[in-house]
Structure 1
Amino acid sequence: MASKVYTLRFNPKLSRNAEGDDVRDGLSAAVLTGENLWLCCDESTTLERLRRTGPRTFGKHCQYALADLVSLPDKVTEEIDLEGMGEAENYLWVIGSHSIKRRNAKPETATIAKQIKRLAKVETAPNRCLLARIPLVINAESGDYELHKTAPHPTAEGQKLRAAQLRSRKTGTNELLDVLTRDEHIGPTLRVPAKDNGFDIEGLAASPDGRLFLGLRGPVLHGWAIILEIRPEDYAKGELRLGQMEGGGHPLYKKHFLDLRGMGIREIRQQGTDLFILAGPTMDLDGTIAVYRWRNGLFQAHDSLTPAEQLERLLDVPHLPHLDRAEGMALLSEREMLMVFDKPAPARKPRPHTILANAYTLPDGPSKG
């Protein structure tokens, strides 16, 4: 499918993390608010804000350190593995993968015996268990949206917006993982690394009524992908807890199973009552990457199971072997979806600190409910 090419330009002073990795090489989520494009990288602990500078360009890079806005359970230098962002009701929501990781063999640096030993090592990363909301307020003078730890509510006089996060512990868990431990489908996969079809959150959509939809890259169960629906609510200063959910098999979350032909979920976006789903290979596999529309997915009264015939496959996203993996989607308009890529091919990097993204035309408008 034909697409428009957008150019994203980053500030050279801000574009590399502490290990020297470039933000543009690991883009994992994207959200548009007004003229600002928000991006995150799965190898960093920052959020990136660009501004529209032309018909198909974004630049004027600004960066926010998450450690200045929320409390990270581990060192500020440890990656969060940011995989999802969503915007609703004056907040930007962010989420880490919540996954555990297995060390890679690294054949270029070790003997066979050491490589085999590395493959046996499984690690938790507490910063990955971040689920937080951050006040998102427009600056009337600049026209840019800004992130704050606290801020006056823009329309409700006397009220404040406050950053908050789901209660977590330094042991590498939080309330969501504690609850899911007892889940018959997901519980066993919490002890499995993401690259082994273990638990791995890679998509987030925020509904105006306070609900969040979490897309799982894994596990994929007999071909069925999973979306978790939760409703975080204020608990204490700076803390959130899981609120009650009606209609689900569990009082604190709903489970939605979707037949994506064996693919996992890489991103979710909300439009009207519909959910757009970016689907791709689970684990560390190459394969088809496609965008689906789940009509009225925003309002499922109960746990649900949706066969492939009830999902609209809108487009396939081209990619190269081991490169150009679409990971983030941002709605530029009702009919245009921007894609950003992890492990971009060299052709996407025409100049230093610059990356090319693609925007695809959606076939029709959202459902009205």
Structure 2
Amino acid sequence: MRSFCRVVVAGAFGLIAMGAALGRVLGLNRTATNGKRAKREQRAMSRFAPLAAAFVMVWSGSLTRPSSAAAAEVKLLADVVFRGEIRFPDNLSAVGLAGSGRFLVVAADEGPVVQFLKRTGPDEYTLHETIPLIDGAKDDDEIDIEGIACSDNVVYVIGSHSRKRSLLKPDKTQKANRKRLAENLREPLREKVFRFELDAAGRLASPIRSTSLRPRLENDELLAPFLAIPGKENGIDIEGIALAPDGLVAAFRSPVFREGFAPVLFFSFDRPEAGRLALVHLGGRGIRDILRVSDGYLLIGGPVNDEPVSFELYHWDGRDGIPGKDVDLTGSVKPLGTIPVTERVPPASVSAVANTPTVASPSPQPVAKPEGLVMLAESPDHYELLIVFDGLVERKAARFRAVRPRHPANGTSHPQKETW
């Protein structure tokens, strides 16, 4: 109802604006005594028209929400409890299901390990095994793990491949903070994709191999310029990995290109340099995770940084989203609804550096960020998902249900085959 009222109000303001503009233009024809003056004012009206249109779009929400998201719903079913010594439990960034669903695999972006949990009760998982990805790694060695994908007992883990800028600190001088701001750090440990195998008992059963997507990114005309930019500033930042029919697919939180396209890269672990780039349009959102399902992929879409943008769940059929007169992309991306996040902070916060209030946001901002998802069950009508969160104090993970999209022709869904 609130959204409907916003649309009505926006429409009214838009009609008033257009009426005023039209009246002004008609008035010019009656009163203008100088042709140059008329042309100047007509140009002014033409500049005003896009502002009126933008006003309508903002008030109706079409700039920040998918057009059909209101009809969809991602329903919270239950909180999920993790027991045992989970590393960095408030910053979980990736999750997977291994061993034919017997083991839940989780990781945080601040450590060098992945952890395996076994289901010990309804919505309860207990730590089973911790596996360091790098021999001799310390707890503070950051791989920036952002995605996990599993094919039965084979596990893939991907780092962000991002650079980072040093954070400003309130106990430093202005000169020192300016120097920190100029630091743009590349950390090779982040530029890894790992692969290993488990045995039936959920123990490491193979050497841990690694490769990197950086050589492929360096040779891509779209992505290469973003390698030198920190991830939180729209530089390269990979935040998801999933199985694909011919290998794997990596999903990017950033960069988000002009007109709102986010990149995905289909690749083979053994030949990452031959990867194929595709783009997907999520209304300007970046991809926070990607999951292979029977008829395509599920995507978590969210802000590139900390913009006041909701986290949405999408279904994508796997087709490259670049439009053209020779392609019909109708139904390629379907919004499934907003992922509910209950823990929030007030719309205005206090800057840690300047100790002054920041500009108030239009709505309270979510503390938690949905960062990873796995499929618990897939029926003809629904997906049942487990989602892990980065930043939640109380909720580390939760179980959700989303309505499964249907093919417009016959009410069913059909898998899409990617072409290399």
**Contact 1:255/1:304, CA 8 A, preserved across alignment:** no
Q: Which has the higher strand share?
A: 1
**Contact 2:376/2:385, CA 8 A, preserved across alignment:** yes
Cα deviation for residue 76 of structure 1 reads 7.5
Pairing 1:225–2:262 present: yes
**Aligned counterpart for 1:53 among listed residues 108, 120, 143:** 120
**Contact 1:197/1:218, CA 8 A, preserved across alignment:** yes
Pairing 1:361–2:383 present: no
Q: Structure 1 unaligned runs (5+)?
A: 17-22, 140-144, 151-162, 167-173, 234-240, 244-251, 349-354
**Contact 1:9/1:61, CA 8 A, preserved across alignment:** no
Alignment of 1:151-162 (within 5 A): none
Cα deviation for residue 317 of structure 1 reads 1.0
**Contact 1:10/1:61, CA 8 A, preserved across alignment:** no
Pairing 1:214–2:254 present: no
Q: Which residue identity lines up with residue 231 of structure 1 in the other structure? A: S
Q: Secondary structure at the match of 1:115?
A: helix
Alignment of 1:174-323 (within 5 A): 174=212, 176-207=213-244, 209=246, 211-222=247-258, 223-233=260-270, 241-242=271-272, 252-295=274-317, 297=318, 300=319, 304-305=321-322, 310-319=332-341, 320=344, 321-323=365-367
- Please identify the structure whose Cα radius of gyration is greater: 2
Aligned to 2:12: none
Report the count of equivalent residues.
303
Separation in 1, partners of 2:200, 2:321:
37
Pairing 1:32–2:94 present: no
Task: Sort the Cα spacing of 1:362 and 1:51 in 2 relative to 1 into closer, same or farther, 3 A.
Answer: farther
Q: Which residue identity lines up with residue 363 of structure 1 in the other structure? A: R
Q: Which has the higher helix share?
A: 2
Task: Sort the Cα spacing of 1:60 and 1:40 in 2 relative to 1 into closer, same or farther, 3 A.
Answer: closer
**Contact 2:312/2:339, CA 8 A, preserved across alignment:** yes
Quote the sequence identity (%): 32
Q: Which residue identity lines up with residue 80 of structure 1 in the other structure? A: I
Q: TM-score, normalised by structure 1?
A: 0.76
Alignment of 1:65-144 (within 5 A): 65-68=132-135, 77-88=140-151, 90-107=153-170, 109-139=171-201
Aligned to 1:165: 210
**Aligned counterpart for 2:370 among listed residues 326, 335, 352:** 326
Cα deviation for residue 359 of structure 1 reads 2.2
Aligned-residue RMSD, C-alpha: 2.3
Q: Structure 2 unaligned runs (5+)?
A: 1-73, 324-328, 345-364, 406-411
Q: Which residue identity lines up with residue 223 of structure 2 in the other structure? A: I
Separation in 1, partners of 2:203, 2:244:
20
Separation in 2, partners of 1:285, 1:232:
33
Aligned to 1:148: 205
Q: TM-score, normalised by structure 2?
A: 0.67
Task: Sort the Cα spacing of 1:347 and 1:89 in 2 relative to 1 into closer, same or farther, 3 A.
Answer: closer
**Contact 2:97/2:149, CA 8 A, preserved across alignment:** no
Separation in 2, partners of 1:262, 1:368:
25
